Amino acid sequence: MRPAHFYGFRNEAADRSGRLQCGSARVLNHKQTQTDTNSSIQSIEITMTTQINSTLHSLPLLGRGKVRDNYAVGDDKLLIVTSDRLSAFDVIMNEPIPEKGRVLNQMANFWFEKLGHIVPNHLTGIAPESVVAADEAEQVRGRAVVAKRLQPIMVEAVVRGYIIGSGWKDYQETGAVCGITLPAGLPQAAKLPAPIFTPAAKAEMGEHDENISFADMEQRIGAELAAKIRDISIQLYTEASEYAATRGIIIADTKFEFGLDEQGVLHLMDEVLTADSSRFWPADSYATGISPPSFDKQFVRDYLETITSWNKTAPAPALPQDVIANTSAKYQEALQRLTGETLKA
């Protein structure tokens, strides 16, 4: 069997610290009424169940990441289970976000199918329930995939269509983003003249990924592969952004991860265009000069920024229930607005 880091586990321990409790918890379902981008009222079903850790005994556990648990399925496949864990500032929160894992899994599968004509992906089409014991099926239903085991490219492919976040800070200081010079005088959240590719080197668990230049990426993985990943990433972002615009959503930026199979064929892997890997803005509230509201963990980030005594390292402070509930609702709203689908049972 290949080592655990073969699919990019970043040398994580097979089981992390006690702050990640095993098992699952459930809270009552409820409905929330939202207004869509055409100002008509729609009823958005918000479900509220949680699973912070999977506890499978039928497959070998290879590692737990910030969000995903990874199990070996033979020598050539993985079972990837998406939990309801949430990390902010690269620290895993103590409390799970209800249904977050199922939302991420369903959203990623939507995009893998929609963008499959651009590049192969890691999906095998094998039902996760078929590779685990019968009494474990509920732990994987709707929140897991059986994936090809790939050799990860240890560079994240970041594409930015708008200037925000760390890119905005970089631009304010240097007039450029990751060494790419931009027009002067752009306001915060401005749309860029064209999407830009700004790679990042993957860091160890708990560390921040490091922005690198394209030249550095070429040195790390070779000029031909670097150019191929850059071109595919921009195509993925462009097609996804054009589709999202028809749903009233702006994709401000996103990151992709790639791996190679044993024949050296490039594959899109991990997650794609989810609320964890992307910055989604509702088009009807978009404005420049501010950090627009987003469909992701912004409620959590905003709350944590108010805790001046926390230095953004583990252990994380406790999250209030309203922050947890609002974050769960935003993730589910993003799924429904982007895909037109409710969370599958």
Domains in the chain: ranges and CATH: 4-296+333-339 (3.30.470.20)
Residue 133 is predicted with a pLDDT of 98
Q: Among residues 160, 163, 7, which one has the least CA distance to residue 70?
A: 7
Structure tokens at 52: 């912070």
pLDDT at 44 over 80: no
Burial of 191 from C-beta contacts in 10 A (0-12 / 13-18 / 19+): middle
pLDDT (tens digit per residue) in 12-25: 333 333 322 333 33
Residue 259 gets the label, from left (phi > 0), alpha (psi -120 to 50) or beta, of: beta
Q: Among residues 99, 102, 95, which one has the least CA distance to residue 329?
A: 99
pLDDT (tens digit per residue) in 213-256: 999 999 999 999 999 999 999 999 999 999 999 999 999 999 99
- Other C-beta atoms lying within 10 Å of the C-beta of residue 194: 8
Q: Among residues 129, 92, 112, which one has the least CA distance to residue 18?
A: 92
Three-state secondary structure call for residue 330: helix
**What does the pLDDT average to over 312-338?**
94
Rounded to whole angstroms, how far apart are CA atoms 144 and 262? 23
Beta-bridge mates of residue 31: 45
